Amino acid sequence: MSRALGRWVLRHFGWYAGPLYLAMILGGCAVVLAGVLAIR
């Protein structure tokens, strides 16, 4: 699944795929962390 997503991102965004992928991962971690902190 994630490999197919990576290929889709690479095909659609080309040069920006790496930073975009990294931002997406970091953003996901930030959302999870914010959720954990909000529960406390």
**Cβ(25)–Cβ(18) under 8 Å?**
no
Task: Give the global pTM.
Answer: 0.52
Instruction: Return the pLDDT at 2.
Output: 67
pLDDT at 9: 67
Q: What is the pLDDT of residue 14?
A: 72
Q: Which pLDDT score, from 0 to 100, does residue 11 have?
A: 78
Alpha helices in 1-40 (DSSP H): 2-13, 17-39
Model confidence over 1-40: pLDDT tens digits?
667 876 776 777 677 767 878 888 999 999 999 999 999 8
* Whole-number pLDDT of residue 15: 72
